Amino acid sequence: MAQFFGVLGDANRWRILSALAVQDLRVSELADLVGMSDSAVSHQLRVLKGQHLVRYRREGRYRVYTLKDHHILTLYREVSEHLDEDL
C-alpha cells in the first residue's frame, strides 16, 4: 500500500502518467514530452510497471506504452479535491 503511494509520489512519474492518459506513446516520445532523458524515462516506466500502472506493446522496434489502469485518473481527481480544501 505505502509502496504504491510512494510510486505516485514523484512529479516526473505523474508527468509520464498524464501523458499516457492522453495517448499511448513510445519511450522517446515520452522523454521529449516530459523533458527527461530516454534512460530516466525507461527507469521510471519500470517502476510504474512494477505497480501495474502501465504496460507496453511492441510495434516494430518501438515499445508503445499505455496506461494499464485508468482508475488512477479517478484517484487523481479525488486527491485534487482534497487538496483544494487546503486553501
Q: Which helix (H) or strand (E) holds 52?
A: none
Bridge partners of 62, per DSSP, are 59
Number of residues that bind its own copies (CB under 8 A): 29
Q: Choose the one of its own copies, DNA, none that binds residue 61, judging by a C-beta under 5 to 8 angstroms depending on kind.
A: DNA
- Return the SS3 of 2: helix
- Segment contacting DNA (CB under 7 A): 59-67, 68-76, 79-87? 59-67
Nearest to 25 by CA among 50, 57, 69, 49: 57
Give the residue, chosen from 23, 38, 39, 52, that forms a contact with its own copies under the rule CB under 8 A.
Answer: 52
* Smallest separation (angstroms) from DNA to the CB of 1: 14
Question: Which residues, 6 or more positions from 23, have their beta carbon under 8 angstroms from its beta carbon?
Answer: none
Which residues of this chain interact with DNA, rule CB under 7 A? 6, 9-10, 12-13, 26-28, 36-47, 56, 58, 60-63
